[in-house]
Amino acid sequence: MTGRRRTAARTAAIHGGLFAAACVTTYLANDLVFAATLMAILTCHEMGHYVVARRRGVDVSLPYFIPLPPQISLGTLGAVIKMKSPITDRDALLDVGAAGPLAGLAVAVPLLVIGLALSELGPIEPGAVLEGNSIFYLGVKLAVFGQLLPDGSTDVQLHSMAFAAWVGILVTMINLLPIGQLDGGHVVRAWIGDRHEALSARLHAGLLVVAVVVGAAMTLIAHGRGTPWLDAIEWAAFGVMPWGVWAVMLALMRGAGDGSYHPPVGDAPLSPGRRRLAAFVVVVFVLIFTPVPMVSAL
């Protein structure tokens, strides 16, 4: 076997091994239906990036899935694709950045609807962890169950498929944050060019502002329901903690590079069709935006 073939075989083994490991850890985190649903969404997301990148002539790797111990996670941190060089063509950057989230949602949305149809309504137990709502998620639950949920005492008892689909949509929302080299950052960088660098800095700081504002609102709500102040603050902190985690991760991503949020792009503006696609992606982000990803029931 030649050196090139050995390298290719080793690389394929790494990709396949990480994918298999992520399948196992997501299964151990919940069950087979959860693992199959979540991995299908994540795989379609990453392959959306990969296929479009290859069609646009971008030299990219296959996805590297990231398994995590199920004791401290849902079994995976998603996946990453390596590019040998930044994409400077704005149309191509938009195509590659938007392809992953849209491909993932094309699978996640019907699986969410099916999963909710398999779910039942039940009482909210004190201390139970509730998944956060977005405009889109509220609308789907309203369409399936005919009422806004949770309603104070009742909520959906999620089937594993519905929970995995909700997680997949939440991951998509995180990826669509229009900051740095996240998918949403690629889309907005392609749309507005190098002005995005200053916007990323403001939005990055804004994540902590979101955490403070949402946390303060949650604290007041909890205290208004009779929860002591310290307990109300602790309850709110659990709900907004992800925003702090994402802010730190973005800082680490920035620090791992040259200190900028995103590589420069070319001067040629987006074509009209790509501008419409960028606007559509922003609308999708607004619809799936989840201010409080998870919260414990009072």
pLDDT per position as a tens digit, 145-179? 999 999 888 999 999 999 999 999 999 999 999 99
Tell me: the pLDDT tens digits for 23-71? 999 999 999 999 999 999 999 999 999 999 999 999 999 999 999 998 8
pTM to 2 decimals? 0.93
Tell me: the pLDDT tens digits for 113-140? 999 999 999 999 888 889 999 999 999 9
Sign of the Cα pseudo-torsion (30, 47, 278, 267, in order): positive
Q: Which residues pair with 76 in a beta bridge?
A: 67
Q: What is the pLDDT of residue 257?
A: 81
Q: What is the pLDDT of residue 3?
A: 67
